[in-house]
Each structure stands twice: as C-alpha cells, then as structure tokens.
Amino acid sequence: MSQAATTGSVNVGSTVRITRVRDRISAEMVEALKADPLCTVTGFRTVDGKGIGVVVQLANGQQAWFFEDEIALA
C-alpha cells in the first residue's frame, strides 16, 4: 500500500488517486481512469491471503478494487 495507506491515513471516504493499473481491468475502466484517476474509498478487502486491497468508486460510478501499491492519497 502507499506509505500514506500503511500509516492508517486511508479510510472509507478518503480520496485516492489510481497511480498504476494492472492488466486485470477492462478497457472501459482504463478509459474512465484516464479521464479522472481520483476515486473515493468505499471499503477494503483481503487479497492474496495477506495483503489489503482498496475498494473504490470511480467518478463515473463504477466500483473496483486495486492492490495497495496501485493507489496514493490524493
């Protein structure tokens, strides 16, 4: 997770910027993130059995989750 996230600064309602995108998202979502990379955190989920993923809502209303190294506080 970004340094800000690991210090507890990322909470539900925080605004984050998607800084990196892996191949696992749709082309439609890539375009939405190019248009506006700022998202609102709506929750968290366990990934890979030990990490934390961040669930976000994009400006266009879509929801997705990202690995902790893909976000930074905005």
Q: Are strands 51-58 and 63-66 parallel, antiparallel or unpaired?
A: antiparallel
Q: Do the Cβ atoms of 52 and 43 come closer than 8 Å? A: no
CATH number where 46 lies: 2.30.30
Domain residue limits at 13: 3-73
Our count of domains for the chain comes to: 1
Residue-wise pLDDT for 1-60, tens only, equals 444 444 458 999 999 999 998 767 888 998 999 999 999 999 999 987 778 899 999 999
More confident residue, 1 or 70: 70
pTM: 0.81
| pLDDT at residue 42, as a whole number | 98
CA distance 26 to 6: 27
SS3 45: strand
